[in-house]
Chains A and B, each alone.
Chain A
Amino acid sequence: MTTATLARRGRIYVLEARYQFLMVLREPAFAIPTLLFPLMFYLFFGVVMGGRGFSAAAPTYMLATYSVFGVMGPSLFGFGAGLAMERDSGVLLLKRTTPMPAAAYLLAKVGMAFAFGAAVVLGIFLTGAHGAGVVLYRWQWFALSGVVLAGVIPFCALGLAVGAWSKSRAAVAITNLVFLPMAMLSGLWIPITMFPAALQDFANVLPAYHHAQLALKVIAMDGGQATALHVAVLAVQSIAFLIVAAVGFRRAESGAVSIRPGGMS
């Protein structure tokens, strides 16, 4: 019986992931910007402008930072905005009436972020390699993709926290308010070293900064802080985001925030 139950369990997880994936694919408003924007940004700032405006190393440096940027998008929007909308439209409530474990829903969302993140990373890597002549050791290509994709976890946690506390109509706007300034201030668009000292110090509170530094470490272009520091900050922040998210959900369940369907109509 255990195998049969396990198989059924597994099937629920896979099906949920599959339907989430299909849903996202059929939602070009999400898929196209999250896939194409980081790529276009990298193409413009890293490849076209990079060689002349910054330095010969710019395409390589920005390969790492725009990959981090690319992974942030699907993690934050898939979770933050996506969850808030599904909750307010009642889809989430519907799902919770089914025997599907809540974890299947969450895992499907994380898997989605991974899949989109991987697609963006691959796109940026191929662009850098073939458009700007970026050359890395093979272990660096693999390690960089791994480090960058691991960023899905803290950013999903952040997305979850934002989604738990915002209403669907505001969710996209609020997520953008987190996403764009954080990307900018973490040095994902232009190297952090070009910022005034005060802003460079401020970046230390941003998860994207620490994640970008880890990615840059793989290609030996980071600012020289300890790996352990970046990992620790990311771990602590991830846990903090999850707690914030849990509190937010509890509040929603207790009725402070409407989880009923049709709130808008």
Chain B
Amino acid sequence: MNTENRTVPRSVWVLLVAVVGFFAALATLPVPGDAAAPEQEAPEESFAIVDVTLFDGEAFRRNQDVWVEDGRVRRVGAKLRLPEDLPRVDGRGHTLLPGFIDGHVHTFGGTLGDALRFGVTSVLDQFTDSGLLAGARTARDDIARTAEADLFSAGMLATAPGGHGTQFGLRVEPLTGPEGAAAWVRARKAEGSDWIKIVSEDGAAYRGEIPSLERETIAALIAAAHAEGLLAVVHVSDLEAAREAVSLGADGLVHTWFDAALSEEDARSFARTGVFVVPTLSVIMGLFGDSTGLRVLDETDESLVSPMQRQTLSNRFEMPEGPDSEVALENVRRLHAAGVRIVAGTDAPNPGTATGLSMHGELRLLARAGMESHEVLAAATSVAADAFAVPERGRIAEGYIADLVLVRGDVEEDVTRTADIVTIWKDGYPVVRETAATAVSPEIPPAPDGPVVVDFEDGLDSGFGFGWQVTTDAMNGGASTADLTVEEGALVVRGETRTGFAFPWAGAIWFLGDQPMQAVDFSGRSVLRFRTRGDGRSYTVMLFGAGAAATVPPTVPFVAGPEWAVVEIPLESFATADPSIIAALAFVAQAPLGSFAFELDDVEIR
């Protein structure tokens, strides 16, 4: 009787425990929001971060308090005596870093916001529209709440007619010889350039040939910059150009090179000149299809990534066979070992990088090149500030601007932790990290009256909105490719859909707003009309509304046959589309996988 009664309950008990254990284990699994545990809202302007592991710009210090007052650091030390009513942030288990300084970016569109949302509180721009410079100076001198990183910039770059830098459509005044150098530099200083950027690029490293500045012109520009009290930095991408620039007295090189490794002797002689190097490993590794930024993207909450960041990360440069990314890393290793100052910089938003986000990838790449945690972080803070003479930034010290990044965990142990950001303060104010796409959309500008037409007579520049770009599943980790060219006044889209992403696509996207994925109001228009011809495949038009990242775009198929034909698609065929908010139209190939080619012309919304 006893045994009978025991056997049954014991099995039942085991079963019960197993079931309860199963559900208990399920309940421990991570859910959204776990990562951002409920924390009190970050204080602003005047507050203290207490008992935190501090990286002050040069070294790690444990159990420190940082007292911020009116947007600046008032005191730093262990066990500070703080006012009773000062708001406090518990820093235990966290690391506090100076806001990052990206030593090589290009500024346009929303890049300054993208930078700040990832803890890059200042950017050192190496070529942008010089019209931005005056406003940038006012903004950075103002210690106030802002949604953008501080911009320091070379403004216009110095290059040869038809040389590197002239291909982007930004205003450039090329130099034909050394005689114009002094006037050119004075004009830059008058426009507000913070330093002078010179291009020494004959295309050799890319197995191509493009016009480049002569040695004498580079020498004259460097001398003129120094005469005006400005630094002169040089774009190089091969060892020969690097040697030449350093011998001519360049203050910095804003890329490393990958055609050949420099000898230890070279590295020592570089070090003796005091030159600094911004290796931009992010963009260089991207050339070789090794985008560290994509890895950071994987770890990043989607709501923090802007459509432009996603897009630029997924773009690729075409790279010829031959050069080796390991050479780029080896050069950084040797430069660093010889004592050459290394400044962290990404060259974002060039293909394979994203402004802000890629900075965290760059830090990992510098670590891979043999730099220790404190050296990597210094390259992105104090060394960058010192190299480019950027004041009051790059350190956490008394009187410095309170540009701070609080990250979870111990960064000294693991430099990849920099991406795990809890709070960013800019000028003492906490930064909103979510992208505008997820926030309530601001007012939507109306499209001009009448039909909006693109005829491609003047090349890829559509004349309406942000324009035409490649779009592929690479932004989702796929391997499809596409290439846009304008031939005989029509847009030619060639590419290949490949396995890689579950839903492959590749083609062209027309951003209708002034910024990528910014919506435009097309109320009253009813038809999308375009001419097309191609290889006979079936293609798809996707219509993106506002906040498109969150929703599946409605699609309509069309066929591109051998003869030019007009396709008319009523806008109402795009289920769920609202003509009053259209951000972009994509013309893409999907299944079946394989290469494709089609042409578009006279695309109009009417």
Interface residues of A, Cβ cutoff 8 Å to B: 7, 10-11, 14-15, 17-18, 51-58, 61, 115, 118, 122, 125-126, 129, 133-138, 141-142, 145, 191, 193-194, 196-197
Chain B: minimal CB distance from A222 (Å)? 11
Q: Are B32 and A137 in contact (CB under 8 A)?
A: yes
Interface residues of B, count at CB 8 A: 32
Cβ of B500 < 8 Å from any Cβ of A?
yes
Given contacts A122-B26, A145-B26, 11 further A-B contacts (CB under 8 A): A11-B4, A14-B12, A52-B477, A56-B298, A115-B18, A125-B25, A135-B31, A136-B29, A141-B31, A191-B502, A193-B591
CB A60 to nearest CB in B, in angstroms, measures 11
Q: Which 7 A-B pairs have the closest CB atoms?
A: A55-B477, A191-B502, A55-B476, A193-B502, A18-B11, A141-B29, A135-B30
- The contact of A118 among B22, B297, B299, B500, by CB within 8 Å, is B22
Interfacial chain A residues near B502, Cβ < 8 Å: 54-55, 57, 61, 191, 193-194
Q: Which residue of A lies closest to B25 (CB)?
A: A122
Q: Is B592 an interface residue (CB 8 A)?
A: yes
Least CB distance from B125 to A in Å reads 30
Interface centre among B4, B11, B473 (most CB of A within 10 A): B11
Chain B nearest CB: distance from A110 CB in Å?
Answer: 14
- CB atoms of A56 and B503 under 8 A apart: no
User: Chain A residues near B34 (CB, 8 Å)?
Assistant: 135
B439 at the interface (CB under 8 A from A): no
Contact of B26 among A18, A125, A191 (CB under 8 A): A125
Show 17 A/B contacts (Cβ-Cβ < 8 Å), sorted by A. Answer: A11-B4, A11-B7, A51-B295, A52-B477, A53-B477, A54-B477, A54-B500, A55-B502, A118-B22, A122-B22, A135-B35, A136-B29, A141-B29, A145-B26, A193-B502, A194-B502, A197-B591
In the bound assembly, the distance between CA atoms of A125 and B30 in angstroms comes to: 10
Task: Report if B8 contacts A (CB, 8 A).
Answer: yes
Q: Measured between alpha carbons, how far is A193 from B501 in the docked complex, in Å?
A: 9
Contacts A14-B11, A55-B478, A122-B22; A129 near B501 (Cβ below 8 A): no
- Whether B8 lies near A58 (C-beta < 8 A) is no
Give the residues in chain A near B501, CB-CB below 8 Å: 54-55
B169 to chain A minimum Cβ distance, whole angstroms, is: 32
Chain B min CB distance to A98 (Å): 17
Contact B26 A53 (CB under 8 A): no
Q: Would you call A138 and B31 a contact (CB within 8 A)? A: yes
A115 to B298, CA, bound (A): 34
A145 CA / B29 CA spacing, docked (Å): 12
Tell whether, in the assembled complex, residue A134 and residue B11 are in contact, meaning their CB atoms are under 8 Å apart: no
Q: How far is the CA of A101 from the CA of B4 in the complex (A)?
A: 19
Residues on the B chain within 8 Å of A57, using CB: 476, 502
Q: Verify A137–B31 contact, CB threshold 8 A.
A: yes
Q: How far is the CB of B437 from chain A (nearest CB, A)?
A: 17
B515 beta carbon closer than 8 Å to chain A? no
Contacts of B32 in A (CB 8 A): 135, 137
* In the assembled complex, B27 has its CB within 8 A of some CB on chain A: yes
CB-defined interface of B490-502 with A at 8 Å, one 1/0 digit per residue?
0000000001111
Q: CB within 8 A of B8: which of A14, A51, A52, A133?
A: A14
Q: How far is it, in angstroms, between the C-alpha of A115 and the C-alpha of B19 when the chains are bound?
A: 9
Q: Are B499 and A51 in contact (CB under 8 A)?
A: no
Interface residues of B in 5-20 (CB under 8 A from A): 7-8, 11-12, 18
> Across the interface, do A51 and B298 meet the contact criterion of CB distance under 8 Å?
yes
Given the contacts A15-B7, A55-B502, A194-B502, A125 and B29 also touching, CB distance less than 8 Å? yes
Task: Give, as a whole number of angstroms, the nearest-CB distance from A94 to chain B.
Answer: 21
Chain A nearest Cβ from B83, distance in angstroms: 40
Residues on the A chain within 8 Å of B31, using CB: 135-138, 141
- Closest Cβ of chain B to A134, distance in Å, is 7
Q: Are B30 and A10 in contact (CB under 8 A)?
A: no
